[in-house]
Structure formats: structure tokens, C-alpha cells
Amino acid sequence: MKKVAFACMISLSLAGPSLAQDVWVTVDNDVLNQVQTSLDSSYQTIHTAQGASLLKLDAQKVESLANIIHDKLHRCGGFIAHESYQEAFDSISYQGEMYFSKSVAFLNYKINQQKAVNSMVPQLEEMKIREMIIKLSSFKTRHHKSQTGLESTQYIHDEWKKLISHRTDAKVELFTHRGTPQPSVILTLTGSESPNDILVIGGHADSLAGFFGGANSTAPGADDNASGIATMTETLRVLMQNGFQPKKTVMFMAYAAEEVGLVGSKEIAQQFKQENKNVLGVIQFDMTLFKGTADKDIVMMTDYTNTAQNEFLGQLIDEYVKVPWGYSRCGYGCSDHASWSNAGFPASMPFESNKGDMNRHIHSAKDTLQNSGGNASHALKFAKLGLAYLVELAN
């Protein structure tokens, strides 16, 4: 069988404490079926909920499981290993909420900010996005446990801080995590009329390369996910340049440690849920650089996302971005939008291509700007969408 050219990371909670002898793993039905035929009897099915199962597995077998999924299903990830039975159980119990959040009420909203959006969209610059991708991918790695992983989040913090330096209603903070030494970066523009209503635009700050995804491998992560961070940053730059003052609160988030199991976003979304924060919508930018599908520019992932918000994004694309778009699915909680969906909030993930046409260089030293076409013109479309999303919904 042909080997897939890019490496997968093992979706084990590497961020957690030491590895116990038994690992609690959650998988979907496709993986469960494959495990039943391919893995020896060293696992136990503990619990099955709608579409997901909890398995107890010898820690030594995690690698075999990753290999089976990779070789037979041609997928990276596809399972999540948890530190405790309780965490694993909670995560499949969330499946109910996953469907709930798919259909959770999304704002009943009609596009009405044409004047503001149409004047700002032309100010978005491909070159600015490209420059930030070059800068972020010049860190040897942004691995969540590396020194340069810390430096790169500090860099994002400092860039964002510069963009809001003239504002008294804005702040940038580092969010410290339990599960990783890497902080997330959170920028808040406080709403002038309903500050308790929150919109979140996010992407992950970390990168990863190599089968075991160590902190020493070279991981430029230009597409995955310097592109998402640079895309959001360009949206922020133009909003600030135009004195954008949202009525609702807008938060920009660069999440830590996504690549090792959505660690940063999971902690943030769970905290927001516990604090009963009113998050009205979440948009995730993870990979916006590589144009892999000829006849579609923006592809909305349909799993772990909110159907009504996805449709609304389609309307925004038609109105403001004017590019062909469609739907695809990851097949598992492939990025930080899943953390928000699992916490019961409406989330969407507009992606660079159909899943099947994705950039094959991610998670390797080859995930460079050059290997995604050498410019950020594809990412620019997502910056337009992000800008339209915020200006329409926050006003």
C-alpha cells in the first residue's frame, strides 16, 4: 500500500502528566469497526454513545492504533487518548451536546452592514498576511513544549498589542493553561452596548512535525497554522485602522497546544461554559493558505459545527467574498472549533479545501509558504470573511 506522504501526530494527551499503563481512548464508529478487525484483543470497549465509543487500551498499543487508522482509514488522528476515565467519559457524553450545538440557536440575523464591510474589505492586503506567515514559520518550531513555541506566542501577543495601542477599550492577555506550558493569546475588544455578548475568532498558534511530534523537529507550520493566525491578524489590522467599535464584545484567540489534542481551546471553552459566558458565535481559521480544490475556495466543515451559522457564513461569502464555496467534513474533532461545539456554543470552521484535497505537507518540515504557492492570496479570502463576520454580527 502506498504510504501517505505526510506524518500524523499521535493524538495522545502528551500535554498531560506521565503516561499511565492504561489509556482511555475515544473513537468514532469507523475507527471502532477497523479496530475490531485489525487490533488484537488488548482493548476493551467500555461504553458506546451516539456514534462514539470509549475504549480502554494498554498504553503500548496507542501507536498500533494510530498506525491502523493511518494505514487503513488514511486518516490522521481520529481518536483522542485521555488522561482519565472521567475525562474520556465526559468527552463522549459531549456527543449529545455536539449534536445539540449543531442545532443550537444561532442569531436570527440579516446582513445589513454593506457600507462598512465594503469600505474595509479592499483595505485587506495579501502582502501583510504573507509577511506574518513568513515571520511565524521562521521559528524552528512552535511546538507547545519548545522555547520557540513560547517565543512565537509572545510574538503574536506583541503584534496584536501594537495594533490596539491607540485603544482604551481593548486589551491583549496571555491565558495560562494547566495542560501545557504554552499560553494562549486572547485579545478583547469590549462591546459598547452589550459587552456580555461575545463573538470569538480564533486559530491555533502551535505547530507540529514528525510522527512523534517532538519539540525538536523543524515545524514551520506555514499553512497549519501560521496562515490562520496571519489571516485573523490582517482582519484585526484593518478593523483597528478604521476605528471599528463593536457593540458586542469581540475576542481574537490564538490557541496553545491544539496539535496535541485541542488542549488550549478545550480549557478556554470549558471555562467560558462554567462561567456561563454568552458566546454567540465562534469562527475557526485553521489552514487558509493552500488552494487544494479547483472549483471551491472556502469549504465549511459540517461536523462539530453549527448548521445555521455555517449557512450564514455561506451568505457572507456570496455577499462579500464572491468566491465558490461548499461543504466537507473532517470526520473527527479536527480543530479548536470542536472544543467550542463540545462546550455547547455555535462554531464553524471555514477551511481551505475539501478534506480529500488537503495540503499533504502539513505536520512536516515541508509545510512552507513556497509549498503552498508562495503567496497568501487564498488566505486573503478568509480575512475578508472574518472581517464581514465580525462587522455584521458585532454591530
Positions that interact with ligand BES (CB under 6 A): 8, 11, 76-77, 224-225, 258-259, 261-262, 286-287, 330, 333-335, 351, 355, 358
Active site includes 22? no
Q: Provide, rounded to whole angstroms, the least separation between the CB of residue 273 and ligand BES.
A: 19
Strand order of the β-sheet with 350-351 is 325-328, 298-301, 350-351
Q: Provide, rounded to whole angstroms, the least separation between the CB of residue 187 and ligand BES.
A: 21
Q: Provide, rounded to whole angstroms, the least separation between the CB of residue 207 and ligand BES.
A: 9
Nearer to ligand BES (CB atom), residue 181 or residue 195: 181
Nearer to ligand BES (CB atom), residue 259 or residue 297: 259
Active site includes 204? yes
Active site includes 337? no
Q: Please choose which of ligand BES, Zn ion, none residue 379 contacts, taking the beta carbon within 5 to 8 angstroms, the exact cut-off set by kind.
A: none
Q: Please choose which of ligand BES, Zn ion, none residue 261 contacts, taking the beta carbon within 5 to 8 angstroms, the exact cut-off set by kind.
A: ligand BES
Q: Which of 82, 157, 361, 363 is catalytic?
A: 363
Q: Please choose which of Zn ion, ligand BES, none residue 364 contacts, taking the beta carbon within 5 to 8 angstroms, the exact cut-off set by kind.
A: none
Q: Which of 83, 197, 234, 286 is catalytic?
A: 286
Q: Which of 143, 157, 177, 204 is catalytic?
A: 204
Assess 225 for contact with Zn ion (CB under 5 A). Answer: yes
For Zn ion, the binding residue among 159, 286, 297, 303 (CB under 5 A) is: 286
Q: Which 53-112 residues touch Zn ion, going by CB under 5 A? A: none
Q: Provide, rounded to whole angstroms, the least separation between the CB of residue 82 and ligand BES.
A: 12
230 and 203 in contact (C-beta within 8 Å)? no
Q: Which of 206, 258, 303, 352 is catalytic?
A: 258
Q: Please choose which of ligand BES, Zn ion, none residue 167 contacts, taking the beta carbon within 5 to 8 angstroms, the exact cut-off set by kind.
A: none
Nearer to Zn ion (CB atom), residue 349 or residue 391: 349
Active site includes 363? yes
Nearer to ligand BES (CB atom), residue 9 or residue 383: 9
Could you give the string, one character per residue 177-216, with x where binding to Zn ion holds by CB under 5 A and - elsewhere? ----------------------------------------
The separation between the first and the last C-alpha atoms of the chain, rounded to the nearest angstrom, is: 53
* Rounded Cα distance, 64 and 85, in Å: 21
For Zn ion, the binding residue among 197, 224, 234, 303 (CB under 5 A) is: 224
Active site includes 125? no
Pairing between β-strand 347-348 and β-strand 278-284 as defined by DSSP bridges? parallel
Q: How many residues bind Zn ion (CB under 5 A)?
A: 3
Q: Provide, rounded to whole angstroms, the least separation between the CB of residue 259 and Zn ion.
A: 6
Q: What is the sign, positive or negative, of the torsion defined by CA atoms of 167, 168, 169, 173?
A: positive
Q: Please choose which of Zn ion, ligand BES, none residue 11 contacts, taking the beta carbon within 5 to 8 angstroms, the exact cut-off set by kind.
A: ligand BES
> Three cell numbers at 323?
468566491
* Rounded Cα distance, 388 and 317, in Å: 9
Q: Nearest to ligand BES by Cβ — which residue?
A: 77
Which residues are CB-neighbours of 154 under 8 A, at least 6 positions away?
A: none
Q: Provide, rounded to whole angstroms, the least separation between the CB of residue 12 and Zn ion.
A: 17
Q: Which of 224, 297, 336, 367 is catalytic?
A: 224
Active site includes 157? no
Pairing between β-strand 79-82 and β-strand 43-49 as defined by DSSP bridges? unpaired
Nearer to Zn ion (CB atom), residue 286 or residue 392: 286
* Rounded Cα distance, 272 and 258, in Å: 18
Q: Mind telling me the catalytic residues?
A: 204, 224, 258-259, 286, 363
Residues of the shown chain interacting with Zn ion in the complex, contacts defined by CB under 5 A: 224-225, 286
